[in-house]
Structure formats: structure tokens, C-alpha cells
A and B are shown apart, each in its own frame.
Chain A
Amino acid sequence: MARAVSTQRKALVTVVAWVIGIVIFFPILWTILTSFKTEAEAIASPPSFLFFDWTTENYGEVQARSDYFRHFWNSVIISVGSTVLGLIIAVPAAWAMAFVPGKRTKDVLMWMLSTKMLPPVGVLIPIYLLFRDTGLLDTRIGLVGVLTLINLPIIVWMLYTYFKEIPGEILEACRMDGAMLKEEILYILTPMAVPGIASTLLLNVILAWNEAFWTLNLTAAKAAPLTAFIASYSSPEGLFYAKLSAASTMAIAPILILGWFSQKQLVRGLTFGAVK
């Protein structure tokens, strides 16, 4: 049962939550505002917050100079593709670890996580050579593969913790009723873990969308996603902050909108099982 909370306390918590939210969101807001300024206004000091000549010329210039939609589609295919492929592999893996744990299950889980501890640049050259010899450089398939492998430990870990929350007795009961393994996973386990799977899916789409090491290093012109699109507007010699902000806004907008609409699922999934 929920505890009675005084109005005062509620107001305080609300204010604190809003302050934290605004602080976290401020850099993004600033990027969006800067994208509507001219280059001279973008570096003006003191900076103007809302009262400047709003202009959309940066967006026009960015679109004229580079093909946004090609990069956008590459990002969609790479992030969704790698996440779906990862889930197909991770659901059975997490099922096995959660419900039929062996002596070494914990070690396997730790070992999977340990692969995340290696700095990616350490394996850049070997992977680059593999990609070169298999013709996967600058292809979306290659990137889907690499990002699947990179995010697999996280997907397995997340699903594992969600599956652990599901009572094994339910699965036992369905087995008693004659369900085979396939039916057990597809019709019993998956529906019960939908919030968990959904939040895993969303989080991994976001992770893959933002991944900027492999997507930059393994692509050239054809498979380059939005991370490469942003990198083409940054410059150490020349002030192009307004254009860079416009490019950044265009790159994060899709994921921001996706996150906005699915925040309920995301929060539910992330806090799933924490209150019992």
C-alpha cells in the first residue's frame, strides 16, 4: 500500500525532479537552440537564450551538403537489425541461464560481461582485416554483425535478470500441460517478459544508434550512419557550431521522438521487478 505523502513533500519532490530533468536536458535544448542561430550568434558572448533572429538556413545547408536520409536509413537498419538479431540469440541464451543454470552459468555471464571491458580500439585492426578479407567493409550487414556482438552481453544480462523474476513454477506447469520448449519460450515466457524485452529492445536500439566507434571506423561512403553525418560537421579549425548543432539535432531527433513515445515502456521495463 502506498504511504500517505504530504502535499509539501510531494511539491518538493516534484520541484527537485524538474530541476534534475532540466539540468540533464539542457545541453540538448542548447544544441537545438544553437541550430537556429547564425554562426556569429552561436559564438556570441554573452549568449542569447531565446531572443535572436531565428533562422533555418543551417538545416538547409546541412541537407544540401550531405544526404541526411541515406545516413538516417543506414542508422535505422543498423540499430534495429543488430538489436533484433541480438534478441533472437539472447532470448534462448537467457532462458537457459535463468531456468536451467549449470555449474558455470555465473562464470559464463561474467565472461560475457568481461568482453565489454576491453577497449574497442584494441581489436580494431584484427576486425578491420577480417572485414577487409570478407568484403564486409562499408556494408550494413557487417555493421549489424559487429553491433550485435558488441551489445549481446548487455542484452543477455538484461533478459537474464528479467527472466529470473519470473517464477519457474509457471514454466513447470506449462511443461506438465505438454508444452514443448518452443511453445514454452514463445507462448509462455515471452509474453510474461514483454516489458523486459521491450525495454531491452529500446535500450539497445539507442545504444546501437549512438555507437560511434565501429560505425565510424568500419564505414566509408555507402553504409555510413548518422554518427558519421555528425562527424562531418565538427571542425577544429573554423567555427561551424550552428551547422554542427543542426546536424546533431537532425541526428538525435528520431531517437528522441522514439524515446518520448516509449518512455512508459522504458521506465516500466527498467524498474521491472524492483518493487515486489
Chain B
Amino acid sequence: MKRLNRALFGATALCTLAATAAFAQDTTLTIATVNNGDMVRMQKLSSDFEEKNPGIKLEWVVLEENVLRQRVTTDVATKGGQYDVMTIGTYEVPIWGKQGWLVSLNDLPDSYDVDDLLPAIRGGLTVDGELYAAPFYGESSMVMYRTDLMEKAGMEMPAEPTWDDIKKAAEAMTDKENEVYGICLRGKAGWGENMAFLTAMSNSFGARWFDENWNPQFDSPEWKETIDFYLDLMNNYGPPGASSNGFNENLALFQQGKCGMWIDATVAASFVTNPNDSEVADSVGFALAPDKGLGKRSNWLWAWSLAIPAGTDAEDAAKKFIDWATSKQYLEMVAEKEGWANVPPGTRKSLYENPEYQKVPFAEMTLESINAADPTNPTVDPVPYTGVQFVAIPEFQGIATATGQQFSAALAGTTSADDALAASQALTEREMKRAGYIK
């Protein structure tokens, strides 16, 4: 009997110990993210989160954007459960949210102040009233131009330029003998490269990818006008070899003073105004992306956002982390440690109301650019899709990469604008038929 008692006591003690150990065991959050300045900064500052939440440990998987996209798509589609928090963009959120692959974030605490999020960004991350991702930083596109070159040409850039203003400025600033080109734009093929720019540009020309019945529209006069204008601009005032220039190549050209203007992501503003990297840091001006007087500007909208894949076993901890990383307090912490210019932009109204942040040279223009984009109503004529510089359907990546190759070839001069448009129309039609959107 004594022996039994002792055994029972021992067993009870063991169970209690095991239970306590299980209770005290750390939750490990695996966070997949992209390699860019703001995300790397978050990784550096994350010790603050671990201090505030002693039971939660963070593990980071940082990958290049395209590798990350492939990696997390495989995982979320198969419910692989490798990640607890994923960094995804405004292209993925509507598609994945509809598939039921993401956890709704509608129940974040009141202190999160969801109404403080910029409406354009919030709209792009919401599906049927459910917020499926919290924006970490938002970006649009705008005109960055050299104030010194404009002055030399005796011109002034309007705050809200039209495409004709851009053409005139490009012409005046081009000085090919001294390797100064009036305008640098994306030419490298890819759905996130030249097609992001061209799709946003086509919106301002009144073009659209599909009509309300999903019929491709590359045979419309609006697309023809867009491509003709783009090719004319680039062939006359653009740098040589522009068909292989993406964001990074144009950034390097602009920083070395070889571009009069550059229309690209607002995030570039912090790079080109940084005197450590940029030779033209003190002579950069900003303007809204151009329009054609049709009511839509040519700027895009993107937000790198944090989402939780359905089926994670650490949902509560993941929500805590997202609450921390996308909160107002996080923005203040970055400002305190790294300065206001390094705060992740484009997510919260309160940031733009802050007088300290208003002193940052590109703050106002970034906000205005973001507000000028509407992902739920991106074009002049109505369309059946959401997305400004993309169409939020799974087939878009493949189709736009193929059409991007056509327009890149047209820029390189190996095909004509008409042939590129005809080929794009044919291949888009084929893919849309195959996917069952049209018969």
C-alpha cells in the first residue's frame, strides 16, 4: 500500500511538472517577410516585442520578394503550417481572403484603432467586410524630378502635372551628350515591373484590362494611346537600354544624376533624398503622378501587410505580434530611435496629422498619392476587378508577365507597338478562356 501511495504521489508530481512545463513553454512565431529597409528595421526592433511578451519567441525568414511569394503561396495553399505570420501584398490579400486561407483580423483590440488606417489601404485589404491583413507600410507612385534641371530649363513642375507637362519637361531636361535623360521609367518585363507602371499609366488614359464581362481590352484605342505615348517618351528622352531597367536600375541612374524625372514608388523618395547614397539628394522635387484630365491619375497602390494563415497553431500570439508591429506605438518607437524619415509610411491617418512627420519632405505627397488611388474603383470605365496596377485574380501574374515581355520588346524595338498589343490581346484572351472567365 505504501508503495502504491508513493507511486501515485510520484506520478502526480510528474504530471504536475509536465503540465507546468507545457504551460511555461514558449510559443515560437515564425515570421516570413521581405527584404526591404522597413522590414529589416522591424526585425531589429523586435526585441521590444519579445521583452513585452516573455512567452513568445520570434523566428525570422527573410526572403527576396518573388522567392517569398512562391514560398508562402505553396505553404498557405497546402496548409503546410510553416509560418505563423506572413508578409503579403495587396495583390494576394483579396485572392487568399476569398479562398479562406487567412485569419480575419476584425477582432484586434480597440487600442489598435482600426479606423485610423488610411481608407484606400484598408479597402485593399478587406474582403466582404473582413480585414484579412494589417498594413505595415503603404506606397503609391509619384513623380520625382530634379529641381535644378527644371530651373535651368526655366520651367516649373505643377503639383498635379498632366502627361503633356511631363513630356514637355522631359524634352527640356534631356541632354544626351552629358548623359542626362529627361525621363526614366520601368521597361523590364514582369507583372510587378513594367506592367505595374503601364497598368497604372493606362488607367489615366482611360484604358482598362477587362470590360465588365472579362473581355480583354488591349485592342482598345485607349491602350494604343498609352503604349504609343510611353514608347515615344522613352525613345526620345529615355536612357539607352531602358527595356532592361526596373526599379533598382532607375534608382541607380537617378541617384547618379542621369534622370530628369522618374515616376516610381513613393518609397524611393527616402532613397533619393539620402545624401549618403544619392548625388542629387538636395535637389529632388515631388509631384503627383500625371493624369490626362479623365479623372484618374497614373499612380498605383501597394501595401506590404502582415497576415495570419488559417491553420496556424499560434493564432493569438500572431495577433499580438501584428498588433505590435502595425500599431501607432510602433511608429512612435521608430521615430524615437531612427528618426521620422524612417517611419514606415502610408498606413495611418494619425501619422500624417503629426506635425513632426509633416516636416518630412515627401510625407505630404505620399499621402496625397495614396489617397488618389482607389483599388475598388481603379479605372475611368467600370471594371469587374479590384486592384490599381494589377487585377486581383490568380491568373494575372502569368498573363501580365507575358504581356510585359511584349511591351518590353516593343521598347527594345524588336517588335512594333501594334504587334505587341495584338499579341497581348490574343494571349490574354486565350488564358481567360482557359480559366473560364469568358467563352
Contact stretch, chosen from B1-9, B251-259, B355-363: B251-259
Could you tell me the distance between the alpha carbons of A52 and B324 in the complex, rounded to whole angstroms? 42
Task: Judge whether A220 and B61 touch: CB under 8 Å.
Answer: yes
Beyond A220-B82, A240-B35, is A234–B40 a contact (Cβ under 8 Å)? no
Per-residue A-contact encoding for B56-81, CB less than 8 Å = 1, 0 else:
00011111111100110011011111
Q: Which residues, 36 to 95 on B, are CB-close (under 8 Å) to A? A: 36-37, 40, 43-44, 59-67, 70-71, 74-75, 77-83
Residue numbers in B under 8 Å from A138 (CB-CB)? 82
> Of the candidates B61, B252, B255, B256, which one forms a contact with A221 in the assembled complex, judged by CB atoms under 8 Å apart?
B61
Residues of A within 8 A of B61 (CB): 220-221, 224, 228, 232
Partner of A43, one of B37, B247, B255: B255
B271 touches A128 (CB 8 A): no
Judge whether A239 and B251 touch: CB under 8 Å. yes
Q: Is the interface of B mostly helix, strand, loop or mixed?
A: mixed
For the A-B complex, the count of residue pairs with Cβ-Cβ distances under 8 Å equals: 98
**How far does the alpha carbon of A233 sit from the alpha carbon of B70 in the complex, in Å?**
17
Which of B43, B62, B267, B271 is the most central at the interface, judged by chain A CB atoms within 10 Å of its CB? B62
Nearest CB of chain B from residue A233's CB, rounded to whole Å: 6
Asked whether, in the complex, the Cβ of B60 is within 8 Å of the Cβ of A217, the reply is no
Give bound CA distance, A65 to B62, whole Å.
10
Task: Check if B354 is an interface residue, CB within 8 A of chain A.
Answer: no
B residues near A239, Cβ cutoff 8 Å: 248, 251-252, 255, 271, 277
Cα distance A3–B77 when bound, in Å?
64
Output the residue of A124, A221, A228, A234 with the most chain B CB within 10 A: A221
- Against A, the Cβ 8 Å flags (1 = close, 0 = not) of B156-194 are 000000000000000000000000000000000000110
| Chain B proximity of A54: nearest CB distance (Å) | 18
Closest to A64 in B: B44
- Tell me the smallest distance from the CB of A15 to a CB of chain B, in Å: 32
Contact with B80, one of A40, A137, A216 (Cβ below 8 angstroms): A137
Cβ-defined contact, A65 with B267, below 8 A? no
- Asked if residues B63 and A228 are in contact (CB atoms below 8 Å), the reply is yes
B276 within 8 A of A: yes
Residues of A within 8 A of B63 (CB): 216, 228, 231-232
- Give chain B nearest CB distance to A236 CB in angstroms: 5
Q: Contacts A65-B43, A216-B67, A221-B60; is A237 near B265 (CB within 8 Å)?
A: yes
A45 to B257, CA, bound (A): 11
Which of B36, B78, B248 has a CB less than 8 Å from the CB of A128?
A: B78
A258 lies within 8 A of chain B by Cβ: no
Assembled-state Cα–Cα distance A231/B66 (Å): 10
Most central of A40, A43, A237, A240 by chain B CB within 10 Å:
A237
Residues of B within 8 A of A43 (CB): 252, 255-256
Q: Any chain B CB within 8 A of the CB of A13?
A: no
Closest Cβ of chain A to B90, distance in Å, is 15
Identify the closest chain B residue to A39 (Cβ).
Answer: B277
Which of under 10, 10 to 19, 20 to 34, or 35 or more describes the interface residues of B?
A: 35 or more
Residues on B with C-beta less than 8 A from A125 are: 74, 77-78
By beta carbon, the residue of chain B nearest A235 is: B35
Interface string of A148-189 (1 = CB under 8 A from B): 000000000000000000000000000000000000000000
Residues of A within 8 A of B251 (CB): 238-239
A262: interface (CB < 8 Å): no
Residues of B within 8 A of A220 (CB): 30, 32, 59, 61, 82-83
Q: Mark A31-61, 1 if CB is under 8 A from B, else 0.
A: 0000000011001110000000000000000
- The verdict on A66 contacting chain B, using a C-beta distance below 8 Å, is yes
Check A65–B40 contact: CB distance below 8 A: yes
B185-219 interface with A by 8 A CB criterion: 192-193
Answer yes or no: A116 CB below 8 A from chain B CBs.
no
> With the chains together, A45 CA to B385 CA distance in Å?
43
Asked if B387 is an interface residue, CB under 8 A from chain A, the answer is no
What is the CB-to-nearest-CB distance from B135 to chain A, in angstroms, rounded to a whole number?
A: 16
Bound CA–CA A137/B75 (angstroms) = 10
Q: Which residue from B30, B78, B80, B247 sits with its C-beta under 8 Å from A236?
A: B247
CB of A231 within 8 A of CB of B67, answer yes
Give the chain B neighbours of A45 by CB distance below 8 A: 252, 256
Shortest Cβ distance from A228 into chain B, in angstroms? 7
Confirm or deny: A132 has a beta carbon within 8 angstroms of a beta carbon on chain B.
yes
B124 contacts A by Cβ under 8 Å:
no
Residue of A nearest to B248 (CB): A239
- Is there an interface contact between B80 and A217, defined as CB atoms closer than 8 Å? no
Q: A129 with B78: in contact, given A65-B40, A234-B35 (CB under 8 Å)?
A: yes
Q: Which residue of A lies closest to B38 (CB)?
A: A238
4 additional A-B residue pairs with CB within 8 Å, beyond A138-B82, A216-B63, A232-B63: A125-B78, A128-B74, A216-B67, A236-B193
| A-B pairs with beta carbons under 8 Å apart, 9 shown | A43-B256, A65-B44, A131-B80, A132-B81, A137-B80, A224-B61, A234-B64, A238-B35, A238-B37
